[in-house]
Amino acid sequence: MTTLDRTREVFANDRFATTQSGIEITAVGAHEAECTMHVDERHCNARGATMGGALFTLADFAAAIAANSDDIESGDLHWVSLDATIHYLSPAITGTSLRASCSALKSGRATALYQTIIESLDNGKRIAIVETTMIRV
């Protein structure tokens, strides 16, 4: 089983991200992860743009995978979000495919800082940037 397959297996239990939101894990590496999400009606607000919470879910899921990348084989996930700041840059409309690329800016023994960039796969436009502080529990 590949690391990517094992990651998908372990994080399949995150049903809000995988089942409800339709997020797919497309890559994982040492303190890095990439996820995609195809925006449909369930992700949109009253204006027809992607709801901020859907974007945040995409970024939070990618950060959780990146932070726990060292623990994938064992399945013992020790890193959770402590806080996060999201900067919305551009709207994403229904039908858009998004990619969240997350990597560590600093990874320590007890805390870590990750940055996730969400961009449109359709036109390369940056949709949001998220900085997440993780804590080991």
Question: What phi and psi values does residue 30 have, to the nearest 5 degrees?
Answer: -65, 110
Beta bridge partners of 86: 130
Q: What is the pTM of this model?
A: 0.96
What's the pLDDT at 73? Answer: 85
Q: Which pLDDT score, from 0 to 100, does residue 48 have? A: 86
pLDDT one-digit tens code per residue, 27-81 = 999 999 999 999 999 999 998 899 999 999 999 999 999 999 999 888 889 999 9
Whole-angstrom distance, CA of residue 116 vs CA of residue 112 = 13
Q: Where are the domains of the chain?
A: 3-136
Residue 107 has pLDDT above 90, yes or no: yes
pLDDT score recorded for residue 76: 86
Is residue 113 a contact partner of residue 132, using CB atoms and an 8 Å limit?
yes
CA gap 132, 33 in Å, rounded: 14
User: How far apart, in whole angstroms, are the C-alpha atoms of residue 87 and residue 106?
Assistant: 20
DSSP, residue by residue, the chain: --HHHHHHHHHTT-HIIIIIS--EEEEEETTEEEEEEE--GGGB-TTSBBPHHHHHHHHHHHHHHHHTGGGTTTT---EEEEEEEEEE-S--BTT-EEEEEEEEEEE-SSEEEEEEEEEETTT--EEEEEEEEEEE-
What pLDDT shows up at residue 123?
95
Mean pLDDT of 108-119: 97
Q: Which CATH class is domain 3-136?
A: alpha beta
Please tell me the predicted confidence (pLDDT) of residue 75: 80
